[in-house]
Structure 1
Amino acid sequence: MIRIDFIAPPLSGHLFPMLYLAKQLQKYAPGLYDIRFISGEGKRSVIEAEGFTMHALMPDDPFIFERLARAQGRTSMFHQAFRLSKKIGEMTEEIKAVISERDTQLVVNDFITYPGVFAAEQLQLPWITCIPTPFAIENIDGTPAFLGGLQPPKSFLGRGRDAAGRLLVRKVKQTLIFALRKQLGKYLPSLYREDGSEAIYSATAIIAMGYEGLQFERTWPSQLQFAGYGAVNEEIELEIPFARFQYCILVTTGTMLPLAQQKIDRLIEQLAQQLPDTLFVVSGGDAKASTYQQRENILRVAFVPYNQYLADFDMVIHHGGAGIVNLCIEHGKPAIVIPQDYDQFDFAARIQYFEIGIWVKKPAVQSLCQAIERIRKQPAWPQLEQLQVEVQQMNAGKIIHEVIQREWKRGEQQ
């Protein structure tokens, strides 16, 4: 059996797609791989429930990942990077030690888990990048990401905007790495390889969890391959009164900051008053919580397992996270998206551009009512149906198996 370590932080948007990949790999090639997860203590029960062993990082500070995630938005990207950089060396050395002790043969690394990258590189192990936001990889052409949700240009000026945006993104990254040179210099001497590619992504194998049909036109790295999207969800039985209402809308906003969440909550309260024939099911996104409250046409629950219930809703109001975006495509559900930070604006731009939902840029009762009414009146979503064809054609287990076999053989030849 080939010994593989999947490395991901214990955050649902990063860990659950990796768990899905690992399960699909086991299903496609049973008995061929010995898979272990390296993650955080906070998701031990989920990982072990899926049948995998795990090593919990940072035993002296087991919930550091969750703490950093809660700080998201309260501090700038630079401050968050500084906080995390203080632990990168410690995490890297720990991962190196546990990989060496097990004699791991290949690493599958979540795209933001840089200590896993550094450990694999220093141990000269073959490693694969897994990324659910492929547009995060810098592009040599096309529309750049992380600039507020830009869409493809329609003019020469627009192409100039894109070129300037690509340069800006690169300069910001270079500035950040320069500022962190004392912490990262040992592990990341340069952000870019000689060929111009980013050293934090595998030079030989990148698994893009998503669909090429949802991406803007650009040149992709030659080692990148789309594998579709999936996520392992904890199953929970809920009593949702779908039959009592004419329409049912799922509202899921990920891990929004308290102030942003409160604003959305107030809007849903007002929407519910104006749309008494509609049930709003508000998911808190925490499977371990026990919140369950219904009054009139609003049902608040701690967590809605998408794989169990998404098919029963008419539409979804969400924040633009990679998981819910791709799962709405899989289930053919048009979405109303209210992005809050980072890549969410870029997903919102794609939802609007490809006409699989509506980006509400200034969320208010009137604009949300108009978006809901538009979705109700639109009987068909051709682009959504076209993307569903791509979903059905994907075989994630086969794709990851073939990539692993190629990379493992490459490693054996070194």
Structure 2
Amino acid sequence: MNKLRICLVSPPYQGHLNPLLGIGRELRDLAEITVLSTPGAMPAIAAAGFKGYPIMAEGEAVVNWIATPGKTVKNNPLLMFQQFKKNMALQPGLLRELEAAFAREQPDIVIADFTLPVTAVAAQRNGARWWSHLPSACVFETPDAPPAYFGGLKPGRGRHGRCRDHLLRAFTRFFKRGFFFLFRDTFRQLGLSSVYRPDGSERAYSAEKILVSSVRELEFARRYPQHLHFIGPLPYTPPSTAAAPEFISDKKHLLVTLGTHSRHHKDGMAALLQQAAGKLGDWVVHFSNGEPGSTKTGKQGNFHRHDFISYADHLHRYDLVLHHAGSGIMLQCLRLGIPAVVFPLDFDQFDNAARLEAAGLAIWVRQRESLEGSLIEAIRSDDLACACRAFSKVIAAYDPGTTLRSLITNHSALCQVKPPPGTPPLPCHSGSQSGASLLSGP
């Protein structure tokens, strides 16, 4: 039997692209894989061993601005509207490019990042099946957990807490419908008819398969649709030419990483950590700028600053990590049992931080002034280290490769019988880790 043809579609952001590349690496023995993203992502795709298909060349600068606007977005309605407006202007062209790409590649299955729901329209118009992928599940609407993008809420307690969560879930749906109404002409041009299906589920997500590269045990919600699958973390990082950080024998090492977005925070955080490093005794602090492709390094005392530190090559050597609660580094630390201090900066990072704190798997820093004290607390906390080691065993019970191959194998017969071209699409979206989705949650 001929191999399946699978297209993976992702924005160029590492926190979205890398998990999909990890999925592709697990499936490449079963399928011919093509990865669609912006031209800037093509080197990372080639390094992973896949054929890349560049899209959005003319809009790449806007795509990058949406994720890195130079200021903190959080749930600021004006900034969110600016992001959303720029994003909507890109969608008609993106739809045309995706339709042309799928007509050429003839995929059996399209697996798309959750920030690109317009992929559904292009896939179904070309007779391909459409699956959704999320790096983590905190942005996914459920009937029994607080919604995302309210600063990192934990489940409300008692009647008043449950009422709060219910009202905020209702407000989230009202907010998304409001954005849809404002841009209704563009949505209809795209073939997107509404935010929600008659059963209340979001049209942004596939009605056939939703893949989450995380673990259910970390989430607050317990009620998910049957076709949503927690497959476990896929710790893929593209090969790096960056110089290896210096690890000093008889000393412990702290990694500080704030991801590849939020560049406007990094110099200030580096200065703060450089001051704190002198008070951490025998610890060496490695600060990563999160700039892949650059190899600059520098150090002053026990504070070392690198443009890039590869998680794949070096993360296992750290005793503690200070990170921004992005889903990628969060799950890699949990998989390795490394304690963390988290300082969320934007998007859904606050929701990830809430989950880590609730599970006793990280210390959440809410103010920069308390950063140094939180690091010292984490260094001294045996309970934190024990909890992280125990949770690493929970993650080890997941087998993403086997789960993915089973899902593909069990549905291979369905994949060979494609839905007819012109099948009505399953449109529109919720919140985004990057602010790049069609309907960003508040």
**Number of residues of Structure 1 aligned to a counterpart in Structure 2:** 408
- Report Cα offsets for 1:10-58 as digits up to 9, x if no partner: 11111001001111223xxx2x311101111111111112211111002
Q: Secondary structure at the match of 2:278?
A: helix
One-letter amino acid of the counterpart of residue 2, structure 1: L
Identify the residue that residue 176 of structure 1 maps to in structure 2.
179
CA distance in 2 between partners of 1:357 and 1:393 (Å): 21
Q: 1:368 to 1:244 in 2, by over 3 A?
A: farther
Q: 1:250 to 1:400 in 2, by over 3 A?
A: same
Identify the residue that residue 9 of structure 1 maps to in structure 2.
11
Question: Does 2:82 match 1:83?
Answer: no
One-letter amino acid of the counterpart of residue 304, structure 1: I
Identify the residue that residue 434 of structure 2 maps to in structure 1.
none
One-letter amino acid of the counterpart of residue 49, structure 1: A
Question: Does 2:231 match 1:227?
Answer: yes
Matches of residues 88-99 of structure 1 in structure 2 within 5 Å?
A: 88-99=91-102
Identify the residue that residue 311 of structure 2 maps to in structure 1.
306
Identify the residue that residue 289 of structure 2 maps to in structure 1.
284
* Contact 1:72–1:80 (CA under 8 A) maintained in structure 2: no
CA shift at 1:413, angstroms?
A: 6.3
Question: How big is the alpha-carbon RMSD for the aligned residues of Structure 1 and Structure 2?
Answer: 1.9
CA distance in 2 between partners of 1:238 and 1:125 (Å): 43
CA shift at 1:102, angstroms?
A: 2.0
Query: Structure 2 length as normaliser, TM-score?
Result: 0.88
* Contact 1:58–1:91 (CA under 8 A) maintained in structure 2: yes
* Contact 1:56–1:62 (CA under 8 A) maintained in structure 2: no
Q: Secondary structure at the match of 1:285?
A: coil
Identify the residue that residue 297 of structure 1 maps to in structure 2.
302
Matches of residues 174-323 of structure 1 in structure 2 within 5 Å?
A: 174-186=177-189, 187-233=191-237, 234-236=239-241, 238-243=243-248, 246-323=251-328
* Contact 1:133–1:343 (CA under 8 A) maintained in structure 2: no
Question: Does 2:153 match 1:155?
Answer: no
Q: 1:144 to 1:59 in 2, by over 3 A?
A: closer
Q: 1:77 to 1:409 in 2, by over 3 A?
A: farther
Query: Structure 1 length as normaliser, TM-score?
Result: 0.93
CA distance in 2 between partners of 1:208 and 1:141 (Å): 18
CA distance in 1 between partners of 2:410 and 2:255 (Å): 41
Q: 1:46 to 1:57 in 2, by over 3 A?
A: same
CA shift at 1:164, angstroms?
A: 1.0
**Which is further off, 62-71 or 329-338?**
62-71
Identify the residue that residue 41 of structure 1 maps to in structure 2.
39
CA shift at 1:133, angstroms?
A: 2.2
* Contact 1:106–1:126 (CA under 8 A) maintained in structure 2: yes
* Contact 1:329–1:384 (CA under 8 A) maintained in structure 2: yes
- Report Cα offsets for 1:219-245 as digits up to 9, x if no partner: 112210111112422234634332256
CA distance in 2 between partners of 1:46 and 1:348 (Å): 28
What percentage of aligned pairs have identical amino acids? 28
Question: Does 2:371 match 1:368?
Answer: yes
CA distance in 1 between partners of 2:377 and 2:157 (Å): 26
**Which is further off, 163-172 or 386-395?**
386-395
Flag structure 2 segments of 5+ consecutive residues without an equivalent.
74-78, 420-442
CA shift at 1:59, angstroms?
A: 3.5
CA distance in 2 between partners of 1:408 and 1:219 (Å): 27
Matches of residues 403-414 of structure 1 in structure 2 within 5 Å?
A: 403-411=407-415, 412=417, 414=419
One-letter amino acid of the counterpart of residue 373, structure 2: Q
Identify the residue that residue 107 of structure 1 maps to in structure 2.
110
CA shift at 1:308, angstroms?
A: 1.2
* Contact 1:143–1:218 (CA under 8 A) maintained in structure 2: no
CA distance in 2 between partners of 1:231 and 1:84 (Å): 29
* Contact 2:266–2:289 (CA under 8 A) maintained in structure 1: no
CA distance in 1 between partners of 2:154 and 2:407 (Å): 31
One-letter amino acid of the counterpart of residue 170, structure 2: L
**Which is further off, 34-43 or 402-411?**
402-411
Q: Secondary structure at the match of 1:45?
A: helix
CA distance in 2 between partners of 1:354 and 1:14 (Å): 24
CA distance in 2 between partners of 1:249 and 1:116 (Å): 40
* Contact 1:11–1:65 (CA under 8 A) maintained in structure 2: no
CA distance in 1 between partners of 2:106 and 2:59 (Å): 25
Q: 1:284 to 1:51 in 2, by over 3 A?
A: same
- Report Cα offsets for 1:111-136 as digits up to 9, x if no partner: 10123222113334211111012121
CA distance in 1 between partners of 2:305 and 2:202 (Å): 42
Q: 1:413 to 1:22 in 2, by over 3 A?
A: closer
Identify the residue that residue 403 of structure 2 maps to in structure 1.
399
- Report Cα offsets for 1:289-321 as digits up to 9, x if no partner: 232111111111111111211111111111110
One-letter amino acid of the counterpart of residue 362, structure 1: Q
**Which is further off, 165-174 or 259-268?**
259-268
Q: 1:385 to 1:182 in 2, by over 3 A?
A: same
Q: 1:12 to 1:64 in 2, by over 3 A?
A: same
CA distance in 2 between partners of 1:257 and 1:12 (Å): 13
Matches of residues 12-91 of structure 1 in structure 2 within 5 Å?
A: 12-26=14-28, 30=29, 32-71=30-69, 73=71, 76-91=79-94
CA distance in 1 between partners of 2:418 and 2:55 (Å): 31
Identify the residue that residue 438 of structure 2 maps to in structure 1.
none
Structure with the bigger percentage of helix:
1
CA shift at 1:193, angstroms?
A: 0.8
CA distance in 2 between partners of 1:73 and 1:119 (Å): 33
CA distance in 2 between partners of 1:398 and 1:363 (Å): 42
